[in-house]
Structure 1
Amino acid sequence: MAESRTWSLKARVALAVGAVLILGGVVVLSVALSYGGRAAREAYDRLLLGAANDIAAAITIRDGAALVDMPASAFQMLALAPEDRIRYRVTGPDGATLTGSEDAPPPPERRAGGGPVFYDGDLGAEPGRYVAVTRRFAERSFSGPVRVMVGQTLRARQALARDIAGGALAVLAAAGLAIGLFAWLATRSALRPLQRLGAALARRDPTDLTPITLPMPTEIAPVLGALNGFMGRLDRQVAATRNLIGDAAHQLRTPVAAIRAQAQDAQEEQDPARRARLLARIHERSIGLSQLLDRMLDRAMIIHRTDTAPRAAVDLRDVALEIYEALEDMPGGTMMRLELPPAPVVVRGDALSLVEAGKNLAANALAHGRAPIRIGVARDNRAVRLYVRDAGPGPGAAILEGMGARFASHAPGGAGLGLAIAREVAQSHGGTLRLGLCEDGFEAALSLPKAGA
């Protein structure tokens, strides 16, 4: 199957930072252009206004007529924009041009009068910017407003706006490079724990499934925890397989050799009675070997299901009923009794594993206990119990202490795995296997936490 590839974390961070910088650049550039245009307009509007005021201040009245002596200071102000063309016009109260160009457009009538008026208009073939200043006279020989209009093209304004926007863009580009560099360094630093984790895994022996203990950031710690959990489950599966192979090699060699030797003796035996006894012993040992194999396979299956079977809500009353139905045809099975409460007793677990553990407890009670055998379910304070009771006194304290370990059978013909299976099932469900005397006999029970506890 082809390896699924996706973008690296560095590429994703670079893409995200680049997108932010591009979007920020567009916003900053638009803001810079707007600010630059406004700043340039305000700066050169002041020049226009200063020139117009100088011209208005130079108007005098002689012999009942307005005379305009164009001041040099007005043109010096306008010369601060040497690339721009200028146009001026002075009109009398009747609107007639006193001096200047007739082509200079007047301000809009609705905005004329009062203070200075700025407006846009053409200056030849180019767009221009104008200001109109009105000076009012009230003399005996001359009365009325004199309007001064001064305009210039927009080249200097546009150049200043571009300079402001270009400077802002240069600053943004430098800041973007710095942010990109810092983001790259931060990404490398943030990914270094993952590189350490990968190196630690690469250095490990394939059989080393112990937890990895490395300091990890909070965001990566769940990944390490999940990895350690997976290796723990894999280690339990490997250990179960190893134990199954070792147990099979150790436990099966002796009974198989004995059956083989007895079969050879039976084949060579001439006495019919002795041959019959040998065949009976072969049959008995075959049954014991079959039970041992069943228990070993059951244990392997239980360990496998511990990490693979999904946990679901299980009513222990159903588990007890299934155990009873599975064993009622065994020798002594008719002496079994069910003790079930009326309300459900729910745990979260694997029903098959719980049934298998209970069957082992009940089979032990049938084989080694004293009738009547009772299978039931009970509630404790924070736990529930799936129990099997018999009326016997149970094993002694010394024997009871070692029960539950693998191959720790103290009964003739026992495989020594039934209680080990029950203990492992209880532990995999967060509970314990309890063995001990009760008020009316001996009890073996799986003590399990309640669902949701």
Structure 2
Amino acid sequence: MSKAAGLRGTLSLKSRVALAMAAVLAVGGAMVLVAALAYGRQAAREAYDRLLVGAASDIAESITVRDGAALVDMPISAFELLALAPDDRISYRIVGPDGETLTGYDTAPLPRAEGDVVFYDGAFGSEKARYVSLVRRFAERSFSGPVQVIVGQTLKARTELARDIAQNALIVLGAAGAAMAFFAWLVMRSALLPLPRIGFALRQRDPTDLTPIDLSAPSEVATLVESLNGFMARLDHQMTTNRNLIGDAAHQLRTPVAAIRAQAQLAAEEPDATRREKMVARIHERAVSLSHLLDQMLNHAMIIHRADTAPRALVDLRDVAIEAFEANEPGAFGKQYAVSLDLPDSPVMVRGDMMSLAEAAKNLLGNALNHGRPPVRIGVRSGDRAILWVYDKGDGPPAEILDEPGMRFAGDQSKGSGGLGLAIAHAVAASHAGWISFHATGGGFEAALDLPKDG
């Protein structure tokens, strides 16, 4: 499957947000439902416990003492309260001070805890039931001691009330969830409107139009637009570099290639051996110059490409200077001078691309060897910034080159230089947040890579 097909198969943002909202509502709904069930059970228990206490109180108030014995006249009001749960069965038991059952069901369980009012769960036959124990104390001559009134009720009404409360809560929750989902959809639709506008703007563009997108958008989408503009800027930079390379190659190579071709044809037709040798030497000189020009053009393109793609690492500028110094081999530059190396004892660290920095140093040294005067020195020094410098006894480049060091094919190209040395060094310095500096000093001229230190 192609990458484009994979992108088409992914869920849309609306679907993802909708699924996330549904998941949140489902989890929240489950939690609320559990809470509603617990609340319903608690509310039903408290409501019917009050009925039990009311019925037990009515029964306790109806107890009288006659002839030294407790008499119970079961009040109708107690049964009217318990009749509010018509489907439930009722059990009661009155226990005297001696533990004897005065009236009621002997099977009604007694509480395990002590107290004037005690609620507890028990059984009523094969059914679960809820009981209350209420104590009325007597202190008369003929009768004294506590009389315990026990009233119980099965749980059907409680269960139905708890279910009704939970069901009503679930209905309210469903309505609230539907309303929240609707408003969330409206908000999401409004929030995502800038994305279709950006897509439409891109589809309407000419394929070669890499200018920044200028559309108002929320901050989150604006970050995406900024990243897209940054990507298009880098792409435009690469395309401009490629166009410049093609244009420079077409412009700079056509003339020397034509000259070499014409001279080779003349040399082939020249009968005089001495003149033919001079023509061959001239062809060789032009071929060497053309080779150097090609090397510089390709190096310039490589440096610009690596500025955006090469990973950065800690580099000791002393190693860069040593590599440029060791590249000063016979035939590497147009002229050969003795080059001296001046390095500090401590490392001078920068963060950058070793290959690009070395290429810049080689070009600065090549310019000094080709256009300057001996002695030539290359070295490194450290202060607030890291400096890789090349010094010679010459006067330095013309003023127009000093003003525009990044200009390609500037200066005299007749001495074996392609006019790209300073342009390459300038591109490397700029890609490393630095610059090229020029100074007339000590009766000579210094060109230097001025870079920020790291460590």
For the criterion TM > 0.5, the same-fold answer is yes
Residue 35 of structure 2 corresponds to: 31
Q: 1:265 to 1:64 in 2, by over 3 A?
A: closer
Report the Cα offset of residue 419 of structure 1.
1.7
Instruction: Identify which of 388, 407, 410 aligns with 2:409.
Output: 407
Greater shift, 180-189 or 159-168, is seen at: 180-189
What amino acid does structure 2 have at the position aligned with 1:30? V
Q: Which residue of 2 aligns with 1:86?
A: 90
Seen in structure 2, the aligned counterparts of structure 1 residues 123 and 409 have a Cα distance that, compared at 3 Å, is same
Q: Secondary structure at the match of 1:291?
A: helix
Partner Cα distance (1:355, 1:150) in 2 = 99
Matched, 1:385 2:387: yes
Mapped to 2, the partners of 1:406 and 1:334 lie a distance apart of: 26
Q: In structure 2, what is the Cα distance between the partners aligned to 1:317 and 1:67?
A: 114
Shift of 1:247: 0.9
Once residues 348 and 31 of structure 1 are traced to their aligned partners in structure 2, the CA distance between those partners, rounded to angstroms, is: 60
In structure 1, the partner of 2:375 is 372
Structure-2 change in CA distance of 1:418 and 1:16 (3 Å):
same
Contact 1:409 1:417 in 2 (8 A): no
Change (3 A) 1:42 1:372: same
1:423 to 2:426 alignment: yes
What amino acid sits opposite 1:184 in the alignment? W
- Write the distance in 1 (CA, Å) between the matches of 2:235 and 2:433: 19
Map residues 129-148 of structure 1 onto 2, 5 A cutoff: 129-139=130-140, 145-148=146-149
Kept in 1, the 8 Å contact 2:317–2:350? The answer is: yes
For 2:360, give the aligned amino acid.
A
Task: Give SS of 2:229's match.
Answer: helix
The normalised TM-score by structure 2 is 0.86
Post-superposition CA distance 1:204-258 (Å, at most 9, x none): 3222223334444444454444433332222222111111111111112222222
Matches within 5 A, 1:275-424: 275-330=276-331, 332-380=335-383, 382-397=384-399, 400-401=402-403, 404-413=406-415, 414-424=417-427
Matches of 1:396 and 1:50, distance apart in 2: 112
Label 1:10 to 1:273 Cα distance change in 2 as closer, same or farther (>3 A). Answer: same
For 1:432 and 1:188, locate their aligned partners in 2 and report how far apart those are by CA, in whole Å. Answer: 49
Asked if residue 107 in structure 1 is aligned to residue 110 in structure 2, the reply is yes
The amino acid across from 1:84 in the alignment is: D
Letter in 1 for 2:429: A
Aligned ranges 1:208-247 → 2 under 5 Å:
208-247=209-248
Question: Which deviates the most, 416-425 or 177-186?
Answer: 177-186
Distance 1:432 1:149, change over 3 A: closer
Task: Say whether 1:76 aligns with 2:80.
Answer: yes
The aligned runs of 1:110-125 (5 Å cut-off) are 110-111=112-113, 115-125=116-126
1:406 to partner: Cα distance = 1.0
Question: Matched residue of 2:251: which SS?
Answer: helix
Runs of at least 5 residues in structure 1 that lack an aligned partner in the other structure:
none
| SS at 1:206 equivalent | coil
Distance 1:396 1:64 in 2: 134
Structure 2 distance, partners of 1:261, 1:111, is 121
CA distance in 2, matches of 1:190, 1:130: 59
**Contact 1:107-1:117 within 8 A present in 2 as well:** no
| Contact residue 90 and residue 97 of structure 1 kept, 8 A | yes
How many Å separate the matches in 2 of 1:81 and 1:16?
Answer: 44
Distance 1:290 1:387, change over 3 A: same
Decide whether the 8 Å contact of 1:423 with 1:433 is kept in 2: yes
Q: Is the 8 A contact 2:337 2:376 kept in 1?
A: no
Residue 28 of structure 1 aligns with an amino acid whose one-letter code is V
Q: Please report how far the alpha carbon of residue 138 of structure 1 lies from its aligned counterpart in structure 2 after TM superposition.
A: 4.8
TM-score, normalised by the number of residues in structure 1: 0.87
**2:39 aligned with 1:18:** no
Shift of 1:11: 4.3
Tell me which amino acid in the other structure corresponds to 1:412: S
Distance 2:292 2:278 in 1: 21
The aligned residue for residue 447 of structure 1 is 450
Cα deviation digits, residues 308-366 of structure 1 (max 9, x gap): 22112222222212212211424643422112222222222222222222222222222
The one-letter code of the counterpart of 2:182 is: L
2:59 and 2:78 in contact (8 A); partners too: yes
Higher alpha-carbon deviation: 384-393 or 24-33? 24-33
Please tell me whether residue 151 in structure 1 is matched to residue 152 in structure 2.
Answer: yes
> Matched residues, percent identical?
63
- SS of alignment partner, residue 327 of structure 2: helix
CA contact (8 A) 1:137 1:145 kept: yes
Aligned-residue offset at 1:403: 5.4
How far residue 185 of structure 1 moved from its aligned partner, in angstroms, is 3.6
- Equivalent AA in structure 2 for residue 406 of structure 1: R
CA shift, 1:141, in A, is 5.4
The letter for the 2-side match of 1:72 is I
Partners of 1:38 and 1:313 lie apart in 2 by 69
Q: Which runs of 5+ in 2 are unaligned?
A: none
Code of the aligned partner of 2:309: T
**How many correspondences in the alignment?**
448
Decide whether the 8 Å contact of 1:88 with 1:104 is kept in 2.
no
Verify: 1:40 aligned to 2:36, yes or no: no
